[in-house]
Amino acid sequence: MPGPEDTAALGAALAPCLEPGLVIYLSGGLGAGKTTLARGLLRGLGYTGKVKSPSYALVELYKFSRLYLYHFDFYRFNNPAELGEAGFREYFTSDAVCVVEWPEKAAGALPAADIRIDLKVKGSGRQAEIDADTEIGRVCLERLETH
Ligand SMILES: Nc1ncnc2c1ncn2[C@@H]1O[C@H](COP(=O)(O)OP(=O)(O)O)[C@@H](O)[C@H]1O
Ligand SMILES: [Mg+2]
């Protein structure tokens, strides 16, 4: 993906494929393009407001007619044990899509991913590797391929 608009376009392409209940992990180092992809996904869902990086709040909520979307960023999170106490598991419901940046920082305290997207810096662009771990994840990626 040569430029940020391509990362955002991948996110936007995922939007019509989503199913409530999906858990999407976005991994990759600082600056790999995780927030850019999440922003593209929100744009694809029709959100026109400002997409804040949830680094400080840890989570931002977006409501659409079809689904809720929770955008998490656990970059500043250092203690997975606190996650249960903070009630974070309650966000992972069957009517919400959860998009998680830095899932490894909350390892063991989060539900497993349906889809994992791993972003890497490649030259001046980015490379994305996308995997589905569950049946609903596979259905979503099949829709992505046929769009
Ligand atoms: N495909 C790409 N090619 C080049 N730059 C990109 C690409 N995708 C995103 N970027 C840029 O990388 C920087 C970091 O992106 P960001 O989404 O904030 O990363 P992360 O959330 O992984 O830390 C931004 O300046 C963004 O515009
Ligand atoms: Mg980010």
pLDDT band at 132 (very low <50, low <70, confident <90, very high): very high
Q: How far is CA 145 from CA 16, 43, 73, 112, 123, in A?
A: 12, 19, 27, 23, 25
Which range has the worst mean pLDDT, 6-15, 23-32, 52-61, 132-141? 52-61
Range list of H helices, 15-103: 34-44, 80-85
pLDDT band at 107 (very low <50, low <70, confident <90, very high): confident
> Which pTM does this prediction carry?
0.95
CB-defined site of ligand 1, < 6 Å: 1, 3-4, 6-7, 28, 30-36, 101, 124-126
Q: Residue 111: which CATH number?
A: 3.40.50.300
Read off the pLDDT of residues 9-37 as tens digits, 9 standing for 90 and up.
Answer: 999 999 999 999 999 999 999 999 999 99
Q: How many domains does the chain have?
A: 1
In which domain, by residue range, is 83 found?
4-146
Q: Which of 24, 35, 36 to mutate to test the pocket of ligand 1 (most atoms within 8 A of CB)?
A: 36
